[in-house]
Amino acid sequence: MFERVGNSWALVKASAMVLRSDRELLIYPIISAIALLIVSIAFFLPLNSTGFFIDAAEDPGVAEIVVVFAFYFVQYSVVIFANSALVGAALIRLRGGDPTLGDGFGIAKSHLRSILGYAAIAATVGMILKLFSQAGESEGRGNPLALIGALASSIVGMAWNLATFLAVPVLVTEDVGPGEAIRRSSSLLKKTWGEQVVGGISIGLVFGLFAIAAVILGIAAIVFVADTSPLAAIAIAILLVLLLLGIGLISSTLGGIYSAAVYNYAVGGDAGEFFREDLIKEAFRTGGRI
């Protein structure tokens, strides 16, 4: 476990070196987060009218399915567009170039049709996972069907995340459609790492630990000062939220950089000057060092 965390930290540091070389890369997730907030606000009333927030255990109607699919589609479109810009710019840096903010957005814009197609596929998968989850909840906790629904949702989600790990780098570098990008992503992982592919390590592991530590310390601080200084408790709560947002933004940025490095290694055997080959090579192996 400690070795796994240590290697994860090494990946974080390598990705951070790329970010230090191009701090503009952080702007893409920031813009994505702002856009997602706007999308969520815009869809709040339509989603609320379908019972999305309070009737999760009820069978969804046609109206709910349509609205939720539209929400997922717009949401995924924003995320994938921003990720495409981030990965495109990161690939330029990893290959020795000096990308500008406009370079990343230009790359994403030039693949907009494929990005929207990929978003539609991702939204469909999201709906399937939601329906699996709702079917399980409707059966009640402890019911075998509920357990099967939860297990199926988990398996489908894991398989999707693995199969699409390199889909965005493929989209922005290879002139293919969304379906071919997913197939190509899966093929690259299998070809490079063989049948031992199991999902690998995520940079999110390190930032997940950071977030857990921040929440524990933040809650402890709030409880400690709540009785004597309510304003201080509120200030700490606000700082905690901002800290968690910062952790999320940095994690997202470094994750995009890492996926670009993995793609570089998968297609050319070279992850770039910032990444040690052994970290990338063993990233998806069962029982490997990561």
Parse the chain into domains and list their residue ranges. Answer: 2-281
Tell me: the pLDDT tens digits for 140-161?
555 665 666 667 677 777 788 8
Tokens 């059966």 sit at which residue? 139
Tokens of 208: 């997940």
- Write out the two tokens for 249: 């933004």
Q: What is the distance between the terminal CA atoms of the chain, rounded to a whole angstrom?
A: 9
Residue 177 exposure: Cα atoms within 13 Å on the Cβ side: 4
User: Residue 58 gets which letter from DSSP?
Assistant: S
Three-state DSSP class for 197? strand
pLDDT of residue 57: 46
CA 248, distance to chain mean position in Å, is: 10
- How confident is the model over 249-264, as pLDDT tens digits? 998 899 899 888 888 8
Max avg pLDDT among 80-94, 158-172, 203-217, 276-290: 80-94
Alpha helices in the chain (DSSP H): 2-21, 27-49, 62-94, 101-110, 112-139, 144-163, 167-173, 178-193, 204-226, 230-268, 277-281
Alpha-carbon torsion (193, 194, 196, 197), positive or negative: positive
Kindly tell me if the per-residue pLDDT of 196 is higher than 50. no
Burial 49-86 (b: 16+ CB within 10 A, else e): ebebeeeeeeebeeebeebbbebbbbbbbbbbbbbbbb
Under a CB-based contact definition with an 8 Å cutoff, are residues 94 and 271 in contact?
A: yes
Whole-structure pTM over 0.75, yes or no?
yes
Rounded to an integer, the average pLDDT of 90-101 is: 90
Helix (H/G/I), strand (E/B), else coil: 21: helix
Tell me which amino acid residue 10 is: A
Q: Taking residues 174-194, report their average pLDDT.
A: 85
DSSP class of 285: B
The pLDDT tens digits of the residues spanning 23-59 come to: 889 999 999 999 999 998 998 887 777 665 555 545 6
The neighbouring-strand residues paired with 285 are 197
